[in-house]
Amino acid sequence: MFKKLFLYLFFLFGINLPVTADEKPPIYWLIWELHPEYILDGQYKGQGYADKFLQFFQANLPEYEHKIKPVNVRRWNIESQKANHCTPHVWGDFFPDTTVLSKPYTFTAPHVLIFDKRFEERFGPAGSILSLEALLQDDELKLMTLPVYVGTNQTHARYPVLHKYLQPYIGKRNLFEFTGSNNEINLKLLTRGTGDYAIGYPNSINAYKRIQGSEAEFISYRIKEHNFYKNIYASCRDTQFGNEVIDKINAVLTPETLRTFLMYQEEWNGQDPQFRYTTIDVLINNKPLENVLP
């Protein structure tokens, strides 16, 4: 009778039992659908570059039981504050008082603006520089973005470098924020005319066409106001457990590992030479660059 009552209470209230010597403590890894960072289903499942970073961490931390939790942004805000919860690929701005970070081990590249190919006649060849500030003043153009703020309290900007240009247009007709759980803009909306342009990364077009098998044509432009790389870290809740995990991750972030991680990035970014130079200069050769943000 007591055993049945105990099991009932265990499942009802999620009673935490102490880990025995034979059990591995769990790490709950928080990931999300964002191509080509993470790919959660389809032909390329598990082949995103951050998928491979996580697989590397798991292989080098065999003393833990690894559990993966796919989350959206709002859910990440909650889950990341729980004990034994870690994020393998994240900026360092979020929850600095409650989070411990690894050494930086890669970057996000400067954002780009993505248009349907038909806009090439108006704006010129791919890779040209456009001013987001000027484009936002054009009432005939509609920018599609994800919610400018991560969460509901407007303390974490999704586009930290571009935020000051976007903020005045929130709620206006030429800036359309997509709500919901998605972490990226579906580029097919540009071909449908839902919007005229979107904020993405240099690898966004190639990833979309490769993963979706799409023949749609897009064009991307560099942004005058944004030429900054931003550090990426692994993070955990700032507890004894979290600090132990981060210390072990730091120990495996050797120059050889960083070159392997660069290779994972280059599987999706077209072997972008500027990304390569920045990675080698800053992360491997410890050469500071002004256009790299913490």
Structure tokens at 28: 């709950």
Q: Are residues 240 and 137 in the same domain?
A: no
What is the pLDDT, as a whole number, of residue 20? 53
The pLDDT tens digits of the residues spanning 54-75 come to 999 999 999 999 999 999 988 9
Q: Residue 261: what residue type?
A: F
| Burial call 128-141: b when 16+ CB within 10 Å, e when fewer | eebebeebbeeeeb
Residue 206: closest CA among 248, 269, 139, 113: 269
Q: Name the domain boundary from 177, 200, 223.
A: 223
Q: Name the domain boundary from 223, 244, 263.
A: 223
CA distance 47 to 50: 8
Q: Are residues 179 and 252 in the same domain?
A: no
Q: Are residues 186 and 214 in the same domain?
A: yes
Residues 6+ apart with CB under 8 A from 165: 132, 133, 136, 225
Give the count of domains, the chain: 2
Q: Are residues 173 and 265 in the same domain?
A: no
Q: Are residues 211 and 116 in the same domain?
A: yes
What is the pLDDT, as a whole number, of residue 200? 96
Q: Name the domain boundary from 167, 199, 223.
A: 223
Q: Are residues 205 and 241 in the same domain?
A: no
Q: Are residues 139 and 81 in the same domain?
A: no
Q: Are residues 145 and 277 in the same domain?
A: no
**CATH code at position 173:** 3.40.190.10
Q: pLDDT under 70 in the chain at which residues?
A: 1-21, 151-153, 180-181
What is the pLDDT, as a whole number, of residue 237? 97
Q: Are residues 116 and 132 in the same domain?
A: yes
What is the pLDDT, as a whole number, of residue 253? 98
What is the pLDDT, as a whole number, of residue 220? 98
**Number of CB atoms found within 10 A of residue 212's CB:** 14
Q: Are residues 35 and 130 in the same domain?
A: no
Structural domain harbouring 121: 112-223
What is the pLDDT, as a whole number, of residue 7? 45
What is the pLDDT, as a whole number, of residue 95? 93
Q: Are residues 208 and 264 in the same domain?
A: no
Residues 6+ apart with CB under 8 A from 286: none
Q: Are residues 142 and 272 in the same domain?
A: no
The pLDDT tens digits of the residues spanning 160-211 come to 999 999 999 999 999 999 876 678 899 999 999 999 999 999 999 999 999 9
